[in-house]
Amino acid sequence: MRIEQAHLDLLYRHLDTARERAHRTSAGAHHGAAAGGTHQARLEREVRAREAARHAARLDAVERGLCFGRLDERDGTVHHIGRTGLTDEAYEPLLLDWRAPAARPFYTATPAHPGTVVRRRHLHTEGRTVTGLDDEALDLAGLDESGRRALVGEAALLAALARERTGRMATAVATIQAEQDRVIRSPLPGALVVQGGPGTGKTLAALHRAAYLLFTHRAALERRGVLVIGPTTGFLRYIEEVLPALGETEVVLRTVGELFPDVTTARTDAPATAVAKGGPWMTEVLRRAVAAHQSAPAEGIDLGDGLRVSARACAQARDAARGLRAPHNRARTHYLRTLLDALAIAQALSLGRPYDEEEAHYAPRELWAREDVRAALDPLWPALTPRQLVERLLTDGELLAEVAPEHAAALLRPPGSPWTVEDVPLLDEAAELLGDLHPTDRTGSATGFATETSTEAGAATEDEEELAFAQGVLTITGQTDDALLDAAALAGRFREDSPYRSTAERAGADRTWAYGHVVVDEAQELSAMAWRTVLRRIPTNSLTVVGDLAQTGSPAGARSWAQMLDPHLPGRWREERLTVNYRTPEPIMALAAAVLRTAAPGQQPPESARPGTDRPRAVPVPDGDFAAALAELPAPVGTLGVIAPDGKAPALGALTVTAAKGLEFDNVVVVEPAALAPRDLYVALTRATRTLTLLHHRPLPPELAGAL
Ligand SMILES: Nc1ncnc2c1ncn2[C@@H]1O[C@H](COP(=O)(O)OP(=O)(O)OP(=O)(O)O)[C@@H](O)[C@H]1O
């Protein structure tokens, strides 16, 4: 311990020095960035200031548990493993970052497959003091079967698993297991599906993977950011500290209900409606709903005084605008422009005036300024926002009968109903089909369309100039990787002239932001339409998808990964499996496994890594007064989660199964198990890390009663 303490002291001295240096650079760069100079110089300094601040924050984040392990190799080489890498003055490594390739044997070496490792040591520390060591000798000859355990660093792992839960997920860099390590270090490209039962560390591995990818591909990922999608805001709160504690800040956490700007919802639809809204057919339904807003008047246009356009010309104009295959709001400009031109020509003819260049320039514009003209033309192809379109689709029975006859009954709702999570993918799809509003539609200006061509051209040139300029700055500062994308981001910032915003902030506010990597947790809950929304945010398809098909609760969710992913990523996803449950003790897991046999007969329950002595208890509540029964339970040690059927949860102040997804508690109380669907019951039982109590008025489901 004395030797390890001396090394730890040395490491903290180097950390302090590196930190001081980073803070000094950051403060200096910020000061410089605020000072004057050309715009280019300011931008350049800001890029440096941002880099320095990030580096300083990363060094601050590793203070706790800086060094947690040591590897001794057969040739006498010793590596210390920690949360970050540190070198001495001669650039000799003092501490290996856990994500570095050389640190990998710390997580993968086993007595059966030791590689070149002869000893793995876990260091326990408190503050800057070494408080204990766990050694594993990995080259012992003649290990018997029980000695060839697959758990890596078992003593340290079991100690970590036995700790009381705080309500927040913690990092586990010291005790990552070999099968989790395979997930964490899987290559960046393509979609990786991680299927695993409850408590197998899917969330943990996915978050450590995000940190690993940011470390390994920093240049490409940091500027694009990483998006983590979770099932509920409660879940996101539970995991939000993991990545900052690993020194990573360029991460955006969102639920599906938060993926569309300015809509935040946790409200969900009834099952039949959720199924209707989540199916792939909604793409076509929305397309038809848009097309229903692109009409040509059957009788043509006649506004008197010779202002006439024939029905045929109107239909041709509409077909030509559709033929552009441009988003609705953009094609609207062309349609209206064609009709205005036709009206202007008709007007000139009726007045006996030549339709020359000057007339062609001014007449359509003047016509558009006339209220009667606008009133006649505007509704033929109205400007639409995604909210307007989706609201109209879901509330207009006639429109629904026309564009979605099979789903109309499930989709129809009263006007002004609040947005639901299932609406978000529809809004996103609508945004793609509609495109941005033309500036004149946003401002309501009367003369815009006649001048749009020149305005648009002007804006495009300005954009290009800013982009070229930002790209130049990045080249100067040596940050040319992925420069086009990042230059675009910088140019955007420059345009907004906003104060400094991080990648995560910029990405979070922009619907069309292309992330560097996306992690989807509890991915089995996503509908086909939600997948389209997610994949739009990651054009490179670099995804980590974690979930458990046995826990699917949403009626529009996945029953098989192939069925859900093949339509979007044919042949472009790979699967890893996690098989050991680190959360639920054996006696509780045995009960859950019995439920799983009914809930999802094809699915294999994970094996519990935790012995556990507390047997699950069933407490009958003959009078059905669950509130009183809860109050009578002995006060638990550690965290408590009460999970109840949807109808009972609010009154009891309990969690629904949906809200409990992905979470865990030292003690779990499940209210009226017989009222939960088998898959939901499986989810509820597997939230416990120590004790499980079942409060029941109705008889327990037979599979539970039989296994208790
Ligand atoms: N290698 C490990 N070291 C320490 N703790 C671990 C390890 N692996 C998993 N755990 C712990 O086990 C618990 C379960 O992990 P996690 O929540 O990631 O599982 P999950 O597979 O996402 O579960 P679920 O499907 O039920 O949401 C967490 O407390 C996590 O910290």
Average pLDDT for 500-524: 87
Q: Closest ligand 1 atom, CA of 205? A: 18
* CA–centroid distance, residue 522 to ligand 1 (Å): 13
Which band of pLDDT confidence, cut at 50, 70 and 90, is reported for residue 481?
Answer: very low
For residues 549-569, average pLDDT: 92
Could you tell me which of 343, 391, 344, 382 has the C-alpha nearest to residue 363? 344
Question: In the chain, what percentage of residues exceed pLDDT 90?
Answer: 63
Q: Which two tokens stand for residue 56?
A: 């300083």
Instruction: Answer whether 310's CB lies under 8 Å from 300's CB.
Output: yes
Q: What's the CA-to-centroid distance between 210 and ligand 1, angstroms? A: 15
Least confident of 216-225, 426-435, 519-528: 216-225
Residue 687 Cα to ligand 1 midpoint, Å, equals: 11
Query: Does residue 271 have a pLDDT over 90?
Result: yes
The answer to whether 453 is annotated as binding is: no
Say yes or no to pLDDT of 287 above 90. yes
pLDDT at 47: 73
- The secondary element (H helix, E strand) that includes residue 134 is strand 129-137
Render pLDDT for 89-101 as a digit per residue (tens, 0 to 9): 888 999 999 999 9
- Residue 71 tokens, joined: 């590897």
232 within ligand 1 shell (Cβ under 6 A): no
Taking 70 as the threshold, does the pLDDT of residue 66 lie above it?
yes
Is the CB–ligand 1 distance for residue 203 below 6 Å? Answer: yes
Q: Of the candidates 18, 2, 43, which has an alpha carbon nearest to the alpha carbon of residue 493?
A: 43
Question: Could you identify the residue written with the tokens 């699917």?
Answer: 552
Q: Do 639 and 167 form a contact (C-beta atoms < 8 A)?
A: yes
Mutating to test ligand 1, I would choose from 98, 203, 607 the residue with most ligand atoms within 8 A of its C-beta, which is 203
Question: Is the pLDDT confidence value at 185 over 90?
Answer: yes
Mean pLDDT of 298-306: 92
Tell me the domain boundaries of the chain: 1-163, 178-260+511-581, 278-443, 448-503, 586-706
Of the residues 583, 595, 663, which should be mutated to test ligand 1's pocket, given the most ligand atoms within 8 Å of the CB?
Answer: 583
What pLDDT does 142 receive?
A: 41
Distance 203 CA to ligand 1 centre (A): 7
Q: Which residues does 47 contact at the CB level (< 8 Å), separation at least 6?
A: 473, 474, 477, 479, 490
Say if ligand 1 is within 6 A of residue 524 CB. no
For residue 380, what are its two tokens? Answer: 């033929």
pLDDT mean over 303-327: 94
Answer yes or no: are the C-beta atoms of 255 and 280 closer than 8 Å: no
Mean pLDDT calculated for residue range 196-218:
95
Q: What is the pLDDT of residue 458?
A: 46
Task: Judge whether residue 664 has pLDDT over 90.
Answer: yes
Q: Which two tokens stand for residue 493?
A: 């910032």
Write the pLDDT tens digit of every residue in 447-475. Answer: 455 444 444 444 544 555 555 555 554 45
Which one, of 648, 691, 698, lies nearest residue 674 by Cα?
698
In this prediction, residue 339 carries a pLDDT of: 95
Alpha carbon distance 597, 122 (integer Å)? 38
Check whether 156 has a pLDDT greater than 70: yes
- 363-372, 491-500, 568-577, 609-618: least confident range: 491-500
Residues 435-457 have a mean pLDDT of 60
| pLDDT value, residue 359 | 86
223 Cα to the center of ligand 1, angstroms = 29
Global pTM value = 0.85
Q: Which of 68, 161, 604 to mutate to test the pocket of ligand 1 (most atoms within 8 A of CB)?
A: 161
What pLDDT, on a 0 to 100 scale, did the predictor assign at position 317? Answer: 95
pLDDT at position 263 is 92
Local structure of 237: helix, strand or coil:
helix
Cβ of residue 479 lying under 6 Å from some atom of ligand 1? no
Judge whether residue 164 has pLDDT over 70.
Answer: yes
369 neighbors 444 (Cβ within 8 angstroms): no
Tokens 């046999």 found at: 597
Helix (H, G, I), strand (E, B) or coil at 336: helix
Instruction: Give the number of other Cβ atoms within 10 Å of residue 385's Cβ.
Output: 17
Alpha helices in 324-422 (DSSP H): 328-351, 357-369, 371-377, 386-395, 397-403, 408-411
One fold for both 178-260+511-581 and 586-706? Answer: yes
pLDDT grade for 31, boundaries at 50, 70 and 90:
low
What pLDDT was estimated at residue 566? 94
What integer pLDDT is reported at residue 468 of this predicted model?
56
Query: What's the one-letter identity of residue 381?
Result: W
| pLDDT exceeds 60 at position 36 | yes
pLDDT over 70 (residue 191)? yes
How confident is the model over 344-371, as a mean pLDDT?
A: 90
Task: Return the ligand 1 atom nearest residue 196 CA.
Answer: 21
> What is the H or E stretch that residue 80 is in?
strand 78-82
Between the alpha carbon of residue 452 and those of residues 260, 446, 590, 626, the distances in Å are 28, 12, 68, 66
Average pLDDT over residues 398-405: 97
What is the mean predicted confidence (pLDDT) over 608-631?
A: 93
Tokens of 64: 């706790």
pLDDT band at 197 (very low <50, low <70, confident <90, very high): very high
User: 665 C-alpha to center of ligand 1: Å?
Assistant: 12
The CB-based long-range contact list for 148-151 (8 Å cut-off, 24+ gap) reads 148/110, 148/111, 148/112, 149/110, 149/111, 150/110, 150/177, 150/178, 150/580, 151/177, 151/580, 151/609
- pLDDT band of residue 488 (cuts 50, 70, 90) is low
Q: 75-79, 503-507, 643-647, 660-664: lowest mean pLDDT where?
A: 503-507
pLDDT above 70 covers a percentage of the chain that reads 88
Task: Using the predicted structure, report yes or no on whether residue 583 has a pLDDT greater than 90.
Answer: yes
β-sheet with 226-230: strand ranges across: 251-255, 226-230, 517-520, 543-547, 191-196, 573-578
Protein residue with its CA nearest to atom 1 in ligand 1 = 176
pLDDT greater than 50 at residue 484: no
The yes/no answer on whether domain 586-706 falls in CATH 3.40.50.720 is no
Residue whose token pair is 């495009």 = 460
Q: Which CATH number fits domain 178-260+511-581: 3.30.56.10, 1.10.490.10, 3.50.50.60, 3.40.50.300?
A: 3.40.50.300
State yes or no: 547 annotated in a binding site. no
Position 477 scores a pLDDT of 43
Between CA 627 and CA 334 the distance in angstroms is 64
Nearest residue (CA) to ligand 1, atom 23: 199
In this prediction, residue 346 carries a pLDDT of 94
Q: If you search the block for the tokens 């935790």, which residue do you land on?
A: 610
Least confident range from 17-31, 63-77, 150-164, 396-410: namely 150-164
CA distance from start to end of the chain: 46
Instruction: Tell me the mean pLDDT in the region 577-593.
Output: 95
Residue 94: name the closest of 105, 103, 81, 106 by CA. Answer: 81
Region 120-132: mean pLDDT is: 91
pLDDT of residue 119: 87
- Mean pLDDT for 17-25 is 87
ipTM of predicted complex? 0.99
CA of 196 to the centre of ligand 1 (A): 11
Q: What is the pLDDT of residue 115?
A: 83
Relative orientation angle of helices 386-395 and 423-434, to the nearest 10 degrees: 120
**Between the CA atoms of 326, 329, 331 and 332, what dihedral angle is there, to the nearest 10 degrees?**
170
State the average pLDDT over residues 685-705. Answer: 95
pLDDT exceeds 80 at position 497: no
Q: Is 203 annotated as a binding residue?
A: yes
pLDDT of residue 141: 52
Is there an atom of ligand 1 within 6 Å of 290 CB?
Answer: no
Helices (H), 93-228: 105-108, 154-162, 178-184, 202-216, 218-222
Indicate the average pLDDT of the chain.
87
**In this predicted structure, which of 167-176, 192-201, 641-650 has the lowest mean pLDDT?**
167-176
Consult the annotation and say whether 201 binds a ligand: yes
